[in-house]
Every structure is written in structure tokens, then in C-alpha cells.
């Protein structure tokens, strides 16, 4: 309560009772905001002194309150999401820098309150530590499959963040962008974090191919776009041995030529995407994703890619390599953890030396065996990216609350898996997923713990939502607390290892800048 705003949170709760969601109340610049739950469809409530210009920035129904204040109830649409981000600046996507961070995928637009609860719980148990969140995160591929736009994703995350009472820095990840047009769609609505995916330009055939074929692939590289030549490649890399901490990278001729043949076109594509983004002169950060490829990224290849991107004037805050083993969707790591530890320690050392920048853990959902070694190797210089596991938690609620619908989704997913798995790295065998008729209602929730069932349900989310979304969302809305509790429980397990190792010396919500990074403006000239 202040002179500018004479009502306390207790006053508002006494006035509006169950119409008001307590976690959402915030007072800022002489106005109060909260989520009004009195109507079948929730609304944003704004209470501000009559005549305040802020009233005109929101669309809704205005009524007189008392003491010269006006109450305005507004639909949670795109326009009012933009208005509330302007009114409450912490809701506007910002820069994360080198702070430990995590991205939360939400394919239904309903998971953010549960994500916030998980993050608050993890941070409450690690006083003084920081994990900066990205609640708005969805790839263009996922947007197409869920029939959502970039602004739909951002709007849902904005109101979910607001409802749950998160008042610190947030980012917004335009994930796995492949074309300049993808960048345009996300930049137009205010995203702050741009993940470039050059996977289509990575030549995985190089691994294991004959030396003569490598030479032909080198000849085909876009040398003009790389502002380089075969001679430059020889001069800059071949014959050198790089020592970084305990890592030794031998850049002999075969290693360098294969690295260039495999990743040269991808480097050129990232530089093109970066310049397109920088020309917009917006405040933003870049992540480079090398993970969605068939073969692992060696330490020499990582060194080559990072060095070439720096030479071309590209700055980035995080980079995802393709690690050894298998990082499949919605399940734990498949592979040798000791081999992975050695691999990640090498990549993390390169990131510290050539950046510093964060190592990004993609397909990070449910990789519980990996988190401790990954965070230790990176020393907290890490970004965790999760996605479809929130959808699986939604199905867990459906299995408990509406088994008939879950049976329909399960039967549908078993039929769609062969087609829908094509764009994912998964190994589930649909023949090991029981038919719905073989299970009792009590057995259905346990399927969400089964490897094959999780992957089958996970990768068929787009097709399933096209058929079942209205019914599924209605049940989640009726069981909102159960969904939020499930998400809190599940994501808490993801976040605790990252809270423990978050870099010391940072204040909550204040990102540490990354050294030498240009976040806006024209691309730097090549060196």
C-alpha cells in the first residue's frame, strides 16, 4: 500500500475473494494487476486511477471502483499480452547472458504456472543461486504441428508467468530456426533468444567416407560465403596442436579437412542467419545448435566451428554439440556415462576458451543421469533445453482423470508412430507398447514410466493434438492444480542439479554478460 496505490493485497483479496488468483497480484507504478477467475474464461484485471493513460493501452470492460480508481477486465489475447509486457517490464523477454539458464517447452500453452512453481521450489532450496528461465520456447516445427504461431507461444507464456507470480528476468527462445523467414516471424513479436539450427547443412556422410570423397566435398563448399579458401584452411588450422586446460586437440590434416567438409556449409548458413538477425538491430542473443545430426561432434570439429564463426564476426551465448551416445526424446540418456563425461568436459573447456559461452543441453528432458556430470563439467556455464515432457505430464493427468480419452490417444499414437517418428531420433518399438484393451484403468498412468510408451506418446503429440486437443485441454483446465503439481514435481527433478552448481557471485535475476558479445547491430567484419 502506497500513496499512489492505496489498496493492499489483503484489501483486494477481501474485495474479490475467489475471483482473484492470489499468486498473480502485483502492484507496479501505481496500478494493480491480477488474474480474474470469475468468468469461464480467465481475464487480466487492471486497477488504476481513473484517467491514467495506461487504461487506454488495454482493451477490455472498464467499471468504476472507488476512491477514484477504475477496474478494467481484459481478455488474455495478443494485444493485452503486449500491453502487460510493456506495463510490467520483467515480463518482456530479456537477455540471459552467461547465467545458468533453462528453457521450458510448452506445447499446450498451459504449463507455465507449473514450470514457475518448479523453478521457485528449486531456487528456494539453493539460496543465492540463479537459474534464469525461458518459458516461451517452441521450435517452428512444433508450432506447425500444434497449429500455433510465434505470438501464440509468447502470449501463453506471458500470462502463465504472470499468473504464477514470477517477477524476475525471462527470455523467449525462437527455437531451431532454419531460415531467415523463421527469424522474421519471431522477431516481429519480441523474442530475445534465437537458436539457429544448421542441421540441414551438416554433411554427416563425411564421417567414415574415403579421403577422395572428402576432397570433393571440400571443393563444393561455399568458399565465397565463408570468406575463405583452401589455402586459408591450411594456414589457420592444419598442423597445429591446441592445448586447452587438460584437453589436447591435434589438428592434423585429416581432422581439419573432415571438420571443414562436415561443418563448413553449416558455418556459412549460421553466419547468414546471424547477419539477417543483426540487421534488425534488436536486443537479442544467439544459440548455435549442432545437436540434431546423425554423428557426434568431435572436439576438433567444435574447435573448427567456433573458430570459424568468430572469424566471420558471429557472437553467440550458447552452443549445443552432438554428444556421444543417444539423447532421445522424453527418456534418460542411452550410452556410457564415463565416455560422455570425458566428451562433455572437452567441449566445456573449448567453450570457456573460445567464448566464454554456455554449453547447451538439447533434448534435455528426463536426462537425470546426465545432469550432475554436465553441470560439473561446464561449471554452471550451461543452458538446459527441455520440450515435450510437459505434454507427457498432461497425459499423466488424462490417464488418471479421464481414462477413456487416454485410451483413445494411446491407440491413435500407436497407429501414428511409424510416420511421426521420422523427424526425431528415437528408438522405441511400438510393438512393446500395450494395446489399450490389454490394460485396466489403474494400469494406464504407469505407461508414462515406460520407455517405449513415453517415446511413442511423445513424438505423436502433433497428430494427437489435431484430433484430441479440445477435449484434452478441457480436462486439464478442470484439473489445473493436478497438472501444476505434476509439472512442479517433474521439473523440480530437472532443475535441482543446476541450482546447486549455478555460478557463485550472481544476484537472482541479474544475468552476467558474456565476454565480447555483440547482441545487436551489424555483423562485425571478418578477420
CA distance 306 to 518: 15
**Would you name the residues annotated as active-site residues?**
175, 287
- Closest alpha carbon to 346 in 384, 307, 300: 300
Q: How many other CB atoms are found less than 10 A from the CB of residue 191? A: 27
CA distance 266 to 197: 9
Task: List helix spans (H) across 402-509.
Answer: 403-420, 451-459, 461-478, 480-501
CA distance 150 to 173: 10
Dump strand ranges (E) for 263-327: 285-289, 318-320
CA distance 134 to 482: 23
**Bridge partners of residue 69, in order along the sequence:** 49
- Cell matching residue 375: 553441470
DSSP, collapsed to helix, strand or coil, labels residue 258 as helix
- Closest alpha carbon to 24 in 14, 36, 15, 16: 36
Give the helix/strand (H/E) hosting 153: helix 150-164
- Closest alpha carbon to 343 in 359, 364, 354: 359
Q: Which is it for strands 358-361 and 318-320: parallel, antiparallel or unpaired?
A: parallel
- Closest alpha carbon to 456 in 391, 398, 399: 391
- Closest alpha carbon to 389 in 453, 331, 471: 331
CA distance 267 to 302: 11
Amino acid at each position: 500500500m502506497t500513496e499512489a496505490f492505496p489498496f493492499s493485497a489483503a484489501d483486494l483479496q477481501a474485495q474479490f475473494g475467489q475471483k482473484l488468483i492470489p499468486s498473480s497480484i502485483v502492484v507496479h507504478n501505481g496500478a494493480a494487476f491480477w488474474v480474474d477467475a470469475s468468468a469461464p474464461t480467465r481475464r487480466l484485471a487492471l486497477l488504476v486511477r481513473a484517467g491514467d493513460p495506461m487504461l487506454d493501452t488495454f482493451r477490455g470492460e472498464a467499471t468504476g471502483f472507488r476512491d477514484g480508481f477504475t477496474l478494467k477486465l481484459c481478455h488474455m489475447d495478443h494485444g493485452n499480452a503486449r500491453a502487460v509486457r510493456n506495463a510490467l517490464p520483467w515480463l518482456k523477454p530479456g537477455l540471459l547472458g552467461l547465467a545458468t539458464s533453462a528453457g521450458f517447452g510448452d506445447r499446450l500453452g498451459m504449463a507455465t504456472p507449473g514450470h514457475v512453481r518448479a523453478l521457485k521450489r528449486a531456487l528456494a532450496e539453493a539460496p543465492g543461486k540463479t537459474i534464469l528461465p525461458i518459458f516461451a520456447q517452441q521450435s517452428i516445427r512444433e508450432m506447425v504441428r500444434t497449429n500455433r504461431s510465434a505470438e501464440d507461444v509468447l502470449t501463453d507464456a506471458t500470462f502463465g508467468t504472470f499468473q504464477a507470480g514470477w517477477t524476475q528476468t525471462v527470455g523467449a527462445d525462437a527455437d531451431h530456426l532454419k531460415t531467415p523467414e523463421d527469424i522474421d516471424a519471431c522477431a516481429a513479436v519480441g523474442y530475445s533468444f534465437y537458436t539457429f539450427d544448421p542441421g540441414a547443412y551438416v554433411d554427416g556422410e563425411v564421417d567414415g567416407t574415403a579421403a577422395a570423397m572428402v576432397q570433393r566435398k571440400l571443393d563444393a563448399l561455399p568458399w565465397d560465403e565463408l570468406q575463405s579458401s583452401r589455402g586459408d584452411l591450411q594456414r589457420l588450422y592444419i598442423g597445429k596442436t591446441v592445448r586447452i586446460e587438460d584437453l589436447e586437440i591435434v589438428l592434423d590434416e585429416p581432422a581439419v579437412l573432415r571438420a571443414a567438409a562436415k561443418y563448413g556449409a553449416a558455418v556459412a548458413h549460421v553466419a547468414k542467419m546471424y547477419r539477417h538477425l543483426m540487421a534488425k538491430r534488436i536486443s537479442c542473443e544467439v544459440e548455435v545448435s549442432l545437436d540434431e545430426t546423425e554423428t557426434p561432434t568431435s572436439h576438433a570439429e567444435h574447435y573448427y566451428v567456433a573458430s570459424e564463426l568468430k572469424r566471420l564476426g558471429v557472437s553467440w551465448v550458447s552452443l549445443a554439440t552432438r554428444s556421444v551416445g543417444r539423447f532421445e526424446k522424453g527418456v534418460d540418456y542411452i550410452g556410457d556415462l564415463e565416455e560422455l563425461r570425458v566428451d562433455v568436459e572437452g567441449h566445456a573447456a573449448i567453450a570457456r576458451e573460445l567464448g566464454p559461452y554456455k554449453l547447451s543441453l538439447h533434448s534435455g528432458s528426463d536426462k537425470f543421469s546426465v545432469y550432475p556430470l554436465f553441470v560439473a563439467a561446464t561449471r554452471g556455464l550451461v543452458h538446459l533445453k527441455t520440450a515435450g515432457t510437459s505434454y507427457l505430464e498432461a497425459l499423466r493427468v488424462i490417464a488418471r482423470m479421464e481414462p477413456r480419452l487416454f485410451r483413445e490417444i494411446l491407440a491413435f499414437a500407436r497407429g501414428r508412430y511409424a510416420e511421426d517418428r521420422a523427424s526425431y531420433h528415437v528408438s522405441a518399438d511400438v510393438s512393446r507398447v500395450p494395446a489399450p484393451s490389454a490394460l485396466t484403468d489403474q494400469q494406464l498412468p504407469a505407461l508414462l514410466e515406460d520407455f517405449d510408451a513415453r517415446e511413442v506418446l511423445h513424438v505423436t503429440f502433433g497428430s494427437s493434438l489435431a484430433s484430441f486437443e479440445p477435449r484434452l485441454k478441457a480436462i486439464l483446465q478442470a484439473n489445473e492444480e493436478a497438472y501444476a503439481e505434476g509439472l512442479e514435481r517433474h521439473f523440480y527433478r530437472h532443475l535441482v542439479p543446476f541450482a546447486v552448481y549455478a555460478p557463485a557471485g550472481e544476484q537472482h535475476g541479474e544475468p552476467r554478460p558474456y565476454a565480447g558479445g555483440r547482441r545487436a547491430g551489424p555483423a562485425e567484419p571478418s578477420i
